[in-house]
Copies of this chain bind each other. A is one copy, B any other.
Amino acid sequence: MRNASPTLKAIAAHLGVSVTTVSRSLSGQGARYRISEKTQGAVRRLARRLDFSPNPLARGLRLKKTATVGLIIPDVSNPFFARIAHCVTIAARDHHHSVLLADSQEQTRLEIDSIDALLRRQVDGLILCPVGIADAHLRSLVRGPVPVILVDRHFPRLALPSVTSDNVGGARAATSHLLAAGHRRIGVLQGLPETSTNRDRLTGYRSALAGRGVRTDPRLVAGDTFLEDSGYRAARRLLRTRPRPTALFALGNLIALGALRAIAEAGLRIPGDISLVAFDDHPYADHLAPPVTTVAQDADALGRIAAGALFSRVRAQSLNSSQRHVVPTRLVSRGSVQPVSRASIQQQEKP
């Protein structure tokens, strides 16, 4: 396999024709340039026999197209992003493109470097899951050389197309679910505060509360990143507030993990002592003790839609119309939410 694919030159020499002729015969331009059917046939046969395929580097150099897309992700080892990566690579294969993967390790600095490196390599398009808050470095992408699609997080002020979950709706559904079970003091374990995902989820949470006429209490919101440790610390803090929240809403899968740990350490039982809902579904949710009610994001859809949007732009040579795509979420009800007893509601409403 692939012991140095032959070149146009080699094929041309074998057949006693010019590289021009070979190139045109193989690229389907034969007719336009009046290469005889006989010659074209001979070229194609030999090319097939030698398993010729044009050198992508040379091609890219000449054409300024590399049949390559960039994918920048904060952390491939996060199942949510991994799933997106999976879908993107599969879509890329379908479009005969390769994927250059970069892991920004949740650092804006590395995200900038990665964008730079991929653009240098002349990717034909870029799918980016931005790490967070800063967007100055994204500004130049708007009128940049290649189409860009933002996934998971978006920047309202930036005219870049994006594909995100319905974070507002998902959070509202989760919160409503808790409200319907009688919960009124619902603690929120948030992620990185300035990100669009976090903001949207908080918005959904507040909107649900407002819908029921429940006042939001800023002291019920804790946490500062989407990492497990932040979830752990935030949960510990909220569990110590009095009166204690009767339910926690974790705004991310790792945060939920931290919350589970904190709740276990506090000697509390789910859902007897406290209810829990988490953003992001995962395969183990069913087998936790108890199974955890989650807001499932359709990561597959995010990846697929982003890739679809990107490739349609790549094909159409069109740039970044700032279209926004929102993918619905789904509330997966399991056993981690329990109705609040009347007594405890009244106890809560007094202070």
Contact = CB atoms under 8 A, between A and B. Distances in A.
Interface in A99-129: 99-103, 105, 110, 112-113, 115-122
Contact of A119 (B1, B71, B85, B100): B1
B77 A66 contact: no
Interface in A170-197: none
A57 B5 CA distance: 18
Given A76-B76, A137-B1, A145-B3, A98 B100 contact: yes
Nearest to A228: B283
A284 B288 contact: yes
Interface string A53-85: 101111011000010100100011111001101
Contact of A284 (B61, B85, B112, B257): B257
Contacts of A122: 55-57
A287 interface: yes
A145 B4 contact: yes
Interface in A263-318: 264, 282-284, 286-290
Contacts of A77: 79, 82-83, 85-86
A185 B284 CA distance: 27
Copies of the polypeptide in the assembly: 2
A283 B141 CA distance: 36
B1 A121 contact: no
A150 to B, nearest CB: 16
Contacts of A120: 2, 5, 53, 55-56
A205 to B, nearest CB: 24
Contacts of A289: 287-290
Contacts of A58: 61
A98 B76 CA distance: 15
Nearest to A53: B120
A89 interface: yes
What are the 6 tightest A-B residue pairs by CB atom distance, in nearest-first order?
Answer: A289-B289, A82-B82, A77-B86, A284-B284, A101-B101, A89-B103
Given A57-B60, A85-B103, A93-B110, 11 more contacts: A1-B112, A1-B141, A53-B120, A57-B61, A68-B100, A77-B82, A82-B85, A89-B102, A100-B100, A101-B101, A261-B286
